[in-house]
Structure 1
Amino acid sequence: MNLEEENKELKKKLLIAQSWMEREVKTQINLISKEKISNLSSGNIEDFFHENVEEIITTGVHSFFGELMILNTPKTVMENIIGAEILFYNQRQNKFADGLGIISSYHKSIDYIIESTITKPFRKFAKKHEQTILRRNDPLEKTLNLVVNSGYILGIAKLFHALSLIKKGGNLGEFTRCFSDFLDSHLYIKDILLEENFYRLLKILIDSEVFGKKRHEGKITYEETKKTRTILIGDLKEQNCVIYKLIKMGQVDI
């Protein structure tokens, strides 16, 4: 087989693989959508199918993330993103509805991504470098101690707190210093987390308190939900957003 024939054969195999990925992804998204739709009221379910919203969400998620990224993203993350999108459709129909469920679903996605792409390797790094003893009575140091030694998750607010201290420099606690060293040894993570625009988006998110005080109060307005959705998933149009960048960060080879 000459080079031209080999290239044709390779191209054919790539097209078959791409076609398979597309079918697999659409099947995956549709299954998740059907499961999440069952949580809507009967009236909203009827409207949902009448307006072809399932297809709109499926196409939107598929186009935004692409086959390869979706196939390499934990199912839990996609389940929560699609669930949030379905609930957001519901809130758009009734703007007085609470956005708590939407924000909670996005929050779960972020927690899962942070745990799998940042916290697990940091935990391993800290133990390897024997950073396991709490020596400073400080809220962030206490949190990082629990993250390393007791398997606690590193929430987005505490992550932002650690990043803000690292950016400022100065006298860091030992666990925070260890986290800074971890970032220095994992530049593909550091380059995303401390990139100016990403850091700015995180700051807006934390300052809005939708993941903190407002979530605990149990009432998030449509406008707050809409703004948060833009920051998190860029309205499924703009990839310069928190969730897309976090997922991309965990898929270094993509």
Structure 2
Amino acid sequence: MVLLQDLEKENYKLKRQLEVAISWMRRNIKEQAQKVSNKKLKKMTLATKSCFIEENIEENIIKQIGDFFGDLMLLNIPTSAIENIISAEINYYNLRKTPSTDGMTVISSYHKALDILIENFIVKGFRKFAKKYNQTILYKNDPLEKSLHNVVNKGYILSIGRLFHLINILKEDKEKFPYVKCFGNYLDKYKYIKEVLFEESFYVIFEELVSSEIFGRKRHIGSMRFVETRKSRSLLIGDFKDKNCLIYKLLKMQDVVY
């Protein structure tokens, strides 16, 4: 009986802690939305600014983020990633109002959010893993090996293109260079990450995004049409309706925490 009471007390305590965390998270998202909105409003035309306020876009964005991801998933999203998602959506609203505007502002914000998620959910763990198993020396004069060497030893980010290339190499049945092999060993240990990265639907979306060159050549050119932006946004965030999208799947891998 005492044990049951102890468990009930512990469950109540954990429930309260979760409620506090969720409350803080919701407040944080609202604060981020207000901060980003105030900054973006200064750059909007008077007409667009008026529509933005009248249509209550800030609250709509907060709601669509909350409804799409849910409280538990949102607890795992870094604040900086949320900020960039909000920024992307405000930019997308502005783009819909003025389709002649360059869509790269939308994609650039989503690119930053994606970099943050990859760093926090994949690369940080790999960096620790590589150092733990003494994979810190560059043995091969290979572009990907050099990139991974810098990721591990200099804290560089692992670019979206490099990650895609890495997945492709790991799928091939041939000998791997040391850093690539180490990354493969890392995925073998943390199978919940590997399952997402090697999932067919994830790979198809990832391949389409990389092939579109929105994170490469087109980003450097600095110009993107509305149609391309809309398509890329759909692949990245599923229009906040379709969970078969890149960002949702990356966040889904963190469900293992719970």
- Structure-2-length-normalised TM-score: 0.88
- 1:34 alignment partner in structure 2: 34
CA shift for structure 1 position 135: 1.7
CA shift for structure 1 position 21: 6.1
Structure 1: runs of 5 or more not aligned: none
CA distance in 2 between counterparts of 1:19 and 1:56 reads 23
Q: Is the 8 A contact 2:76 2:254 kept in 1?
A: no
- 1:240 alignment partner in structure 2: 244
CA distance in 2 between counterparts of 1:198 and 1:49 reads 36
4+ long deviations beyond 6 Å: 16-19
Residue-pair matches, total: 252
- 1:149 alignment partner in structure 2: 153
CA shift for structure 1 position 22: 6.2
**Residue 223 of structure 2 is aligned with which of 214, 219, 223?**
219
CA distance in 2 between counterparts of 1:123 and 1:48 reads 42
Q: Is the 8 A contact 2:22 2:75 kept in 1?
A: no
CA distance in 2 between counterparts of 1:123 and 1:216 reads 28
- 1:163 alignment partner in structure 2: 167
Q: Is the 8 A contact 1:25 1:62 kept in 2?
A: no
**Residue 93 of structure 2 is aligned with which of 86, 89, 92?**
89
Structure 2: runs of 5 or more not aligned: none
CA distance in 2 between counterparts of 1:101 and 1:239 reads 23
Map 1:1-254 → 2, pairs under 5 A: 23-38=23-38, 39-40=40-41, 41-43=44-46, 44-254=48-258
CA distance in 1 between counterparts of 2:60 and 2:111 reads 23
Q: Is the 8 A contact 1:37 1:45 kept in 2?
A: no
Encode CA deviations 1:173-214: one digit per residue, 9 max, x unaligned: 111111111111110100000111101111001000001100
Q: Is the 8 A contact 1:122 1:182 kept in 2?
A: yes
Percent identity over paired residues: 45
Superposed CA RMSD in Å reads 2.6
Encode CA deviations 1:5-32: one digit per residue, 9 max, x unaligned: x98xx79x95x77876665444333222
- Residue type at the aligned position of 2:60: I
Q: Is the 8 A contact 2:102 2:223 kept in 1?
A: yes
- Structure-1-length-normalised TM-score: 0.90
CA distance in 2 between counterparts of 1:22 and 1:185 reads 30
